[in-house]
């Protein structure tokens, strides 16, 4: 039995952001049609060293294959000089269950995290959006910028971050990327300064307190929360949710349990859980996207396993077509 091993460099060779955005549309169409089985997300924690392992499985029906992504988040790694978060994706044959491919999962996660925001903005933002506000300057912020600049003709990007050094590093990375990243990308002194002039507003932080306030939003703004992932964390305030006319998530079950951006306003009875739509419903045409230019729309993502599986299977197909990766004989045949 042979297993294909794909490094981060291999993954980067066979997929780009534009493709990743279209793949998210396919993934959520599969989800809307009930053709996937989302396995139970599970966690294993470690006190010493402090860290967590997250296991995200997904199965495609009718022999479409299955996979699992394993994410490790070890909080002390920065002191060791290694990345805090690492990830692997394993793919298995849908007919036999045999393992087929293992690939580095960090770049895949970066792509699909940015791509799903761009997909949501395709349906929820004004098509003439030109100014992007980013709150945060880490890895998530980078992929949000790339994805939205791929989907829209962005002319100006305003970045607000707690640490100026990290903000300057982000600007340097974006300038080096080139392509559709505009030359006009700058740091501002506060989130308010960025938000009040933006068409697209993205929070990419792990903040427990709101960094985006609804009073600062212009009519017609698309807002996305892409960082906070626990019920007591929130990147946008209740006024943002109250002013919005559409509230869309990648997973209703996950976001209505773990996304404080929505859990808290629902508990405050500002909106009802039934008003929250899934992006799969909008992609499939079951619920409307933006309906007028003055709407404020809100999108929250935590990550859905079918996104990883569909993206990984595309990467695997392209790697096979181009003969990329390392094949390893692993044995394991049981007679």
Structure confidence by residue, pLDDT tens digits, 301-323: 988 999 999 999 999 999 999 99
pLDDT exceeds 70 at position 334: no
Model confidence at 230, pLDDT cuts 50, 70, 90, reads confident
Rounded Cα distance between 234 and 252, Å, is 16
Q: Considering the entire predicted model, what is its pTM? A: 0.94
pLDDT exceeds 60 at position 335: no
Domains in the chain (CATH in brackets) are 2-108+306-329 (3.30.1780.10), 116-304 (3.40.50.720)
Structure confidence by residue, pLDDT tens digits, 51-73: 989 999 999 999 999 999 999 98
String of DSSP letters for 216-256:
GPPTT-EEEE-S--STT--SB-HHHHHH-SEEEES-HHHHH
Which of 328 and 1 is assigned the larger pLDDT?
A: 328
pLDDT at 9: 98
Which of 226 and 85 is assigned the larger pLDDT?
A: 226
Which of 234 and 335 is assigned the larger pLDDT?
A: 234
Q: What kind and span of H or E run contains 282? A: helix 279-283
């Amino acid at each position: 039995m042979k297993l294909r091993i794909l490094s981060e460099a291999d993954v980067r060779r066979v997929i780009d952001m534009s493709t990743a955005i279209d793949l998210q549309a396919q993934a959520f169409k599969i989800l809307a049609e009930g053709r996937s089985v989302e396995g139970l997300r599970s966690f294993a924690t470690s006190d010493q060293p402090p860290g967590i392992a997250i296991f995200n499985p997904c199965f495609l029906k009718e022999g479409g294959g299955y996979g699992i992504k394993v994410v490790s988040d070890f909080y002390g790694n920065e002191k060791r000089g290694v990345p805090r978060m690492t990830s692997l994706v394993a793919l298995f044959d849908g007919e036999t269950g045999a393992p087929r491919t293992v690939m580095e999962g960090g770049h895949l996660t970066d792509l699909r995290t940015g791509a799903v925001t761009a997909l949501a903005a395709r349906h929820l933002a004004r098509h003439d959006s030109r100014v992007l506000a980013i709150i945060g300057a880490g890895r998530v912020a980078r992929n949000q910028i790339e994805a939205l600049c791929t989907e829209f003709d962005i002319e100006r990007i305003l970045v607000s971050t707690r640490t100026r050094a990290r903000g300057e590093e982000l600007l340097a990375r974006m300038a080096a990327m080139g392509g559709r990243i505009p030359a006009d990308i700058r740091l501002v002194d506060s989130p308010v300064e960025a938000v009040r002039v933006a068409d697209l507003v993205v929070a990419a932080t792990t903040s427990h307190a709101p960094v985006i306030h609804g009073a600062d939003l212009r009519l017609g703004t698309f807002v996305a929360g892409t960082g906070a992932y626990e019920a007591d964390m929130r990147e946008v305030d209740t006024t943002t949710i109250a002013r919005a006319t559409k509230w869309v998530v990648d997973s209703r079950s996950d976001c209505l349990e773990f996304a404080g951006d929505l859990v808290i306003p629902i508990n405050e009875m500002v909106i009802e859980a039934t008003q929250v739509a899934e992006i799969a419903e909008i992609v499939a045409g079951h619920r409307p996207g933006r309906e007028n230019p003055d709407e404020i729309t809100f999108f929250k993502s935590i990550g859905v396993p079918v996104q990883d599986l569909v993206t990984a299977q595309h990467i695997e197909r392209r790697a096979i077509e181009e003969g990329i990766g390392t094949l390893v004989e692993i044995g394991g045949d049981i007679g």
